[in-house]
């Protein structure tokens, strides 16, 4: 069974353990001109890049995407980032591993999260919105997938139960911020919070690793979500056309900007608030996950590619000795705007 996890790996450490192959690509070394096999290895604590330089043909056959392998190698540091140089690799047999060791999982209880979401729906005053939300959450196939789906492949809440955790967190933000603005329809805002990413249930696959389905690649979660919601709303006799249109617009516009994949820009207050609160929850989660994954004593993380900057580790910053600040990373904090 698995004993060494990604989060525990240290530079110069020898490793013999099981990992799931999340990505696989044969590349060519820029200096050597020789091929090597590039892998992303994953377990429930995180992911690490890995390289195989010897016996590439045999290794490529042994390293099958979305399968668990046993590897032997050592941890090196390349450009400030840990990587595993693999010396031996073979497929693992089913009795050698437990699948739960290989996919990251929300730290919260998914049944409690789902019950919390159901409670939010029950408290919705608008009867049409409540009927729609109950229809969605009451669909056994949707509920089962919602308890497992990540919110993304890598960007934020990229773990089992991540989408549900993100939705519940976003609902909490909506319920706190909406009362500050009397013009906001709280029920409409909550419907957007609960439904905006519902298409990710079919956009992503998340059984052995995280990635995009063919439907997800071709359509994306916004279109998939709109198709699902149209069926649900049309199945409710007398569902108001204006409410349908407003919910559709919030789903279409929740990314906020065309360059971030929004077919439309938010055009009424609830849509605008949904975009900014969704963006806030996503980016804070990205920061939290990046800082928690970082090891060592530096006050700064390596560059977060989602946010295009290294991040200050507040715990390390507050612990530093007075008058002896640790140096920032060589690149320094970037002034680039956030990237979704």
199 and 256, same domain (yes or no): yes
Instruction: Please tell me whether residue 77 adopts helix, strand or coil conformation.
Output: strand
**CA 38/CA 29 separation, integer angstroms:** 11
Strand partners of residue 86: 73
253 and 281, same domain (yes or no): yes
- As given in the structure block, the two tokens for residue 332 are 């320094």
* Residue 293 maps to a domain: no
Pairing mode of beta strands 81-91, 46-52: parallel
Q: What is the pLDDT of residue 290?
A: 82
245 and 265, same domain (yes or no): yes
Q: What is the pLDDT of residue 236?
A: 98
Q: What is the pLDDT of residue 295?
A: 66
Q: What is the pLDDT of residue 326?
A: 54
**CA 179/CA 82 separation, integer angstroms:** 46
* Residue 142 maps to a domain: yes
278 and 192, same domain (yes or no): yes
Domain containing residue 237:
110-285
* Residue 305 maps to a domain: no
* Residue 302 maps to a domain: no
CB 316, CB 299: distance < 8 Å: yes
CB 59, CB 20: distance < 8 Å: no
CATH number at residue 63: 2.40.50.140
85 and 172, same domain (yes or no): no
Output the DSSP codes for 280-339.
HHHHHHHHHHHHHH--SS-SBPSPBTTTTB--B-HHHHHHSPTT-PPPPPTT----PPP-
Q: How many domains does the chain fold into? A: 2
- As given in the structure block, the two tokens for residue 62 are 């042994």
Final residue of a domain: which of 267, 285, 303?
Answer: 285
* Residue 301 maps to a domain: no
154 and 79, same domain (yes or no): no
83 and 132, same domain (yes or no): no
Final residue of a domain: which of 100, 123, 138?
Answer: 100
* Residue 196 maps to a domain: yes
**CA 300/CA 283 separation, integer angstroms:** 17
Helices (H), the chain: 56-62, 110-122, 127-137, 140-146, 162-177, 186-195, 200-203, 214-234, 241-253, 269-293, 314-319
Strand partners of residue 37: 26, 52
Containing 15, the helix (H) or strand (E) segment is strand 14-28
CB 205, CB 181: distance < 8 Å: no
**CA 176/CA 290 separation, integer angstroms:** 26
177 and 278, same domain (yes or no): yes
CB 18, CB 68: distance < 8 Å: yes
**CA 69/CA 61 separation, integer angstroms:** 12
* Residue 190 maps to a domain: yes
Instruction: Please tell me whether residue 33 adopts helix, strand or coil conformation.
Output: coil
96 and 114, same domain (yes or no): no
Instruction: Please tell me whether residue 45 adopts helix, strand or coil conformation.
Output: coil
94 and 135, same domain (yes or no): no
190 and 247, same domain (yes or no): yes
CATH number at residue 134: 1.10.3210
Q: What is the pLDDT of residue 153?
A: 83
**CA 143/CA 135 separation, integer angstroms:** 10
* Residue 206 maps to a domain: yes
Output the DSSP codes for 122-146.
HT---HHHHHHHHHHHT-HHHHHHH
Final residue of a domain: which of 263, 285, 307?
Answer: 285
61 and 124, same domain (yes or no): no
**pLDDT 10s per residue in the chain (340 long)?**
677 899 889 888 999 999 999 889 999 888 888 899 999 998 888 889 999 998 888 898 889 888 999 999 999 988 778 899 999 999 999 889 888 888 888 999 999 999 999 999 999 999 999 999 999 999 999 999 999 999 988 778 888 999 999 999 999 999 999 999 999 999 999 999 999 999 999 999 888 778 899 999 999 999 999 999 999 999 999 999 999 999 999 999 999 888 787 899 999 999 999 999 999 999 999 888 888 877 667 888 888 777 888 888 888 888 775 555 555 554 544 444 333 3
* Residues 6+ positions from 298 with CB-CB distance below 8 Å: 313, 316, 326, 329
Instruction: Please tell me whether residue 46 adopts helix, strand or coil conformation.
Output: strand
């Amino acid at each position: 069974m698995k004993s060494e996890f990604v989060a525990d790996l240290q530079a110069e450490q020898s490793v013999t353990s099981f990992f799931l192959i999340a990505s696989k690509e044969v590349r060519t070394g820029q200096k050597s001109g020789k091929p090597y096999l590039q892998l992303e290895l994953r377990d429930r604590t995180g992911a690490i890049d890995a390289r195989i330089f010897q016996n590439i043909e045999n290794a490529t056959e042994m390293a099958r995407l979305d399968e668990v392998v046993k590897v032997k190698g050592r941890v090196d540091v390349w450009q400030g980032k840990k990587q595993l140089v693999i010396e031996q690799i073979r497929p693992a047999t089913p009795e050698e591993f437990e699948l739960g060791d290989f996919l990251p999982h929300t730290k919260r209880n998914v049944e409690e999260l789902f019950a919390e979401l159901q409670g939010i729906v029950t408290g919705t005053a608008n009867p049409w919105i409540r009927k729609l939300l109950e229809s969605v959450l009451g669909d056994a196939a949707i509920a089962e997938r919602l308890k497992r789906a990540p919110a993304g492949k890598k960007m934020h809440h990229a773990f089992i139960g991540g989408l549900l955790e993100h939705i519940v967190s976003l609902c909490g933000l909506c319920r706190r911020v909406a009362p500050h603005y009397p013009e906001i329809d709280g029920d409409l805002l909550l419907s957007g919070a609960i439904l905006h990413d519902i298409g990710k249930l079919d956009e992503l696959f998340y059984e052995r690793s995280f990635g995009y389905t063919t439907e997800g690649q071709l359509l994306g979660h916004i279109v998939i979500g709109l198709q699902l919601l149209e069926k649900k709303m049309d199945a409710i006799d007398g569902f108001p056309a204006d409410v349908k249109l407003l919910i559709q617009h919030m789903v279409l516009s929740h990314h906020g900007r065309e360059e971030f994949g929004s077919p439309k820009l938010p055009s009424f207050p609830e849509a605008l608030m949904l975009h900014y609160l969704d963006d806030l929850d996503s980016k804070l989660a990205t920061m939290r996950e990046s800082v928690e994954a970082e090891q060592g004593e530096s006050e700064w993380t390596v560059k977060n590619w989602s946010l295009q900057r290294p991040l200050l580790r507040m715990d390390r910053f507050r612990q530093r000795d007075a008058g002896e600040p640790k140096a920032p990373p060589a690149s320094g904090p970037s002034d680039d705007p956030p990237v979704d």
